[in-house]
Chain A
Amino acid sequence: MSQSPVGQPLDRVDGPLKVTGQARYAAEFPEAGLLYGSVVNSSIARGRIIRIDASAAEAVPGVELVLTHQNRPPVASYDEPYEDDDAGDGSPFRPLYNDRILYSGQPVALVVADNLELARYAGSLVKIEYASEPHHTDLRARLDSAHQAEVDLPPPRGDAAQALSEADIRLDVEYSTPVEHHNPMEPHASTVHYLAGGQLEIHDKTQGVQNCMRYLEGVFGMEGKIRVLAPFTGGAFGSGLRPQYQLVLAAMAALKLKRSVRVALKRQQMFTFGYRPRSIQRLSVGADNTGRLQALTHQAIGQTSTFEDFTEHEVEWTGMLYDCPNVKLDYQLVPLDVYTPLDMRAPGAAIGVYALECAMDELAYAANVDPLKLRLLNYSERNQNQDKPYSSKALRECYQQGAERFGWSRRSPEPRSMREGNQLIGWGMATGVWEALQMPASAKARLGADGKLVVSSATADIGTGTYTVMTQIAASALGLPMNRVDFQLGDSSLSTAPLEGGSATVSSVGSAVQQACAGLRQKLLDAVQQMPVSAFAGARLDDITFADGSMTLTADTQQSVELAQIIAAAGEQEVEVSVEPGKERDNYATATHSAVFIEVQVDEALGTVKVSRAVSAIAAGRVVNPKTAGNQIVGGVVWGIGMALHEETQMDHNLGRFMNHNLSEYHIPVNADIGAIDVLFVEEHDDVVNQLGSKGVGEIGIVGVAAAVANAIYHATGKRVRGLPITLDKLL
């Protein structure tokens, strides 16, 4: 009997399409007569549009339309339709709604022409007169306008202030993290196909085709007339969680002209919507002189827009990761004249755990305890925020196996005590943690007359491997070879799926796929039992093995029937299911964990930092595909290195505008920045988290990495840099 594909390191099923250039992304669906839109963005950060002179642009032959708030099609005038599945509290931004300018880079016009270059050129001819108003974009300068974030933080436990005042060791430290932009390689784009009858079929770059569909239906009052497709998404990392403005503008132009329109953003325009917000974080740590935690307080202040409150889980981790009797958490927001921040890979955890794990390293030195031993000393068996046990938590194994792989025991504890020539060597470590979420999801499974199993759900594959792992789960459930299973996604007409985010897709959609296939197994058994003289009469599903394209009586393997034969006799079989998270989850806390070990080389004279080695040990339950999951973790580590050393979107506060809005000056890691990255998955059995026992790996890879790099830099240099990114000027 062939092995189940679940757990095997299989190649991506969409790999051949991607390496041959056949995978098509949102801006790559052609149509005769397609029009091209080019977005004009505001040059001021706050104020009003006084006048728009589009005459020069309109006079360019080939220009079909200059769309502005003055001539756009009608749109909803209340907030609800704009509140997509990832909206925060407040009034979502409405593209081309009125004359108000809320942030620099806000779209103010769309020039539509019959080719791309003309549209862009004509865009440069649109003259816009503004009435500017004073703006505020500097978080640190506006701390006095902070307000409490509307989130359910765990209530304070114990008396942190008292415990801090009595602690043998007390640290009060402040960390800061900058604005970062997602910058997926594929810029956001929408191709709106205008169909006869006025319906819209849209290829969009998104992590949620149904989210975009519902949004457009509401905004334009077009219920049932919109289909959104995204078979391939060229990276997103959160940038595709909310419908972005190019989608609205392209739809507006298509509706107005009754023509098909494409709007692709320029790289510079990828800096004109959501981003990871800048943060200022203050931690106080109290411990006894052995390093045992007595008190933790963590206050985060983040930026948001003037129209929405963006919140993320930033400080909760400090209450759950370590055993500590006295904890107080606080989270505040400062509204600025900027666009609303947006979930970006491990939102909240990436920056909150960075601060916590740097503070833990500082405590290790203050208490003269090895940083790894300090974590073990304060290990928490329960989630004290929720006062619940974990459904599984193999973090201890992550520490142990990661340390062994890295060679941590050979570390000499003193800063500046390891070197190779001019290079100061530093070894640092940190813990990572992320939620193991599950959302309601649906899937459909159909076994057809051609012997192929088609499984579908309106989820996305943003590079995460969704196509592949869902195919594995389905193939495993019905005992079919991978090449007889076709998984379909990225189409709003498919079964309902949640946003592809939060590391919840395998848990949510995977569970639905598994149960749809389980339903199909029952149907196939029922069908067999309808056949005359069935050897399967009276058999129950538990008595049956599905393998190698056949159904077999486990107790008598001579009794076997090919699934194709059942379909031939009984016709196509189809099952659609909706799966809710299991009730038993309520009794447990569910999370993924990691231990990250980093080696840096810091040039003593130049201050340049290279991460030469990384080990990431992950506890994420059952891993469906170690190849694609390992790649996810590697990507997360690369993101963590970028966060630690490179990434920062810099704002000119006089203009209220981002300055380095391109890939030349917004630095993301390149191949030469990345050394060896060793990923290991520790065994972690979990019957509670979901039926697959699988927790998801999209976020956990990045969490803790920036802290481990910062801690390694301290070990190498003796310099504690508390603001990211740690660029060489901060080390000289």
Chain B
Amino acid sequence: MTDPSANTGGIATCSMTIMLNGESRALDVYPWTTLLDLLREQLDLTGTKKGCDHGQCGACTVLLNGKRINACLTLAIMHEDAELTTIEGLASDEALHPMQAAFVTHDAFQCGYCTPGQICSAVGMVAEGRAQSADEIREQMSGNLCRCGAYPNILAAIEAAMPETRNRVGVFESGAPSGGHDGVREVKP
């Protein structure tokens, strides 16, 4: 982990708070630290993966205020008081999130490196509510690369987990801001 007090030529860290996986965290963060590096290097939450650092692969997808984003393309300090859910925060207690369980059942991965991003992206996509068909799921999941090529199983897992994910209270109930956030559509009954 990075020592936030390391000498960096007079540039100070910034204090911020963030609601991370349901827990309020007070952090000292360098202004140049991406949300991804904050998670991986400073907080040891390495479930969020770095595949390209350029927003081209989706491996770093997390849910920010319920909306899926690439954590590599945003600076940590921009998210004061935000609600952030990473793959580590999706499961509740001992039970996997239905999307996680479906990924296991449908063998929707091989090496597992893109998997946390695929799962967070899928959960975010279901919340967006726009994907109604297999082709729409394929299209809307195309920001998440899987070099192992497990796409058909990813599709099958998402289709299987969609109803339960839609109905799920939890990540979105706590994470959804009150009204009008563009990432969180109405959750269908």
Contact = CB atoms under 8 A, between A and B. Distances in A.
A117 B37 contact: yes
A663 B6 contact: no
A668 B149 CA distance: 9
B26 interface: no
Contacts of B155: 671
Interface stretch (A233-241, A319-327, A411-419): A233-241
A676 B149 CA distance: 12
Contacts of B30: 115, 117
Contact of A19 (B96, B135, B137): B96
Interface residues of B, number: 67
Given A115-B6, A267-B54, A186 B49 contact: yes
25 contacts: A12-B104, A15-B103, A17-B112, A19-B103, A19-B104, A19-B115, A21-B47, A21-B116, A32-B1, A33-B3, A117-B37, A184-B113, A187-B51, A236-B111, A267-B51, A267-B52, A462-B110, A462-B111, A634-B149, A634-B152, A635-B110, A662-B54, A671-B144, A672-B141, A676-B152
Contact of B2 (A11, A115, A664): A115
A635 B91 contact: no
B40 A28 contact: yes
Across chains A and B, which 3 residue pairs bring their CB atoms closest together, nearest first?
A21-B47, A638-B149, A463-B111
B67 interface: no
Interface residues of A, number: 69
Interface of B: 1-3, 6-9, 30, 32-33, 37, 40-41, 44-54, 56-57, 59, 86-88, 90-91, 96, 100-101, 103-105, 107, 109-116, 119, 135, 137-139, 141-155
A72 interface: no
Contact of A235 (B9, B101, B147): B147
Contacts of A14: 112
A11 B151 CA distance: 17
Given A185-B59, A663-B57, A672-B135, 6 more contacts: A19-B103, A62-B8, A118-B8, A662-B52, A668-B147, A672-B138
Nearest to A674: B151
B6 A235 contact: no
B3 A114 contact: yes
A117 B32 contact: yes
A62 B1 CA distance: 14
B149 A637 contact: yes
A631 to B, nearest CB: 5
A30 B45 CA distance: 10
Q: Which of A27, A34, A235 has the most CB atoms of chain B within a 10 A radius of its CB?
A: A235
A676 B155 CA distance: 10
A463 B150 CA distance: 10
Nearest to B45: A21
Contacts of B88: 20-22
Nearest to B119: A19
A208 interface: no
B57 A30 contact: no
B145 A670 contact: yes
B152 A16 contact: no
B117 to A, nearest CB: 9
B151 A237 contact: no
Residue picked from B44, B52, B155, most chain A C-beta under 10 Å: B52
Given A16-B96, A663-B54, A234 B112 contact: yes
B85 to A, nearest CB: 12
B53 A23 contact: no
Contact of A18 (B3, B86, B112, B145): B112
B152 to A, nearest CB: 5
Given A464-B110, A668-B147, A62 B96 contact: no
Nearest to B104: A15
Contacts of A463: 109-112, 148
B6 A62 contact: yes
A232 interface: yes
A161 interface: no
Nearest to A34: B1
Contacts of B137: 671
Nearest to B40: A28
Given A116-B41, A267-B51, A185 B113 contact: yes
Taking each of B51, B88, B119, which has the highest tally of chain A beta carbons within 10 Å of its own beta carbon? Answer: B51
B76 to A, nearest CB: 12
Interface in A104-139: 114-118
A20 B146 contact: no
Given A663-B54, A671-B154, A24 B32 contact: no
A463 B56 CA distance: 22
Nearest to A614: B152
A688 to B, nearest CB: 29
Given A185-B147, A674-B138, A266 B53 contact: yes
B33 A117 contact: yes
Contacts of A630: 107
Contacts of A117: 30, 32-33, 37
A673 B142 CA distance: 9
A28 B46 contact: yes
Nearest to A22: B47
A287 B183 CA distance: 62
A672 to B, nearest CB: 4
A631 B155 CA distance: 13
Contact of B111 (A15, A30, A186, A672): A186
A363 B172 CA distance: 59
A672 B136 CA distance: 8
A232 B49 CA distance: 13
B50 A628 contact: no
Contacts of A18: 109, 112, 115
Nearest to A118: B8
B107 A12 contact: yes
Contacts of B139: 671-672
Give the most central of B33, B37, B90, B109: most A CB within 10 Å. Answer: B109
Contacts of B149: 634-639, 669, 674
A97 to B, nearest CB: 29
Given A19-B103, A19-B119, A61-B9, A672 B110 contact: no
A60 B151 contact: no
B162 to A, nearest CB: 15
A25 interface: yes
Contacts of B153: 631, 634
Given A18-B115, A28-B46, A669 B151 contact: yes
Contacts of B2: 114-116
Contacts of B116: 19, 21
B132 to A, nearest CB: 15
A124 to B, nearest CB: 13
A277 interface: no
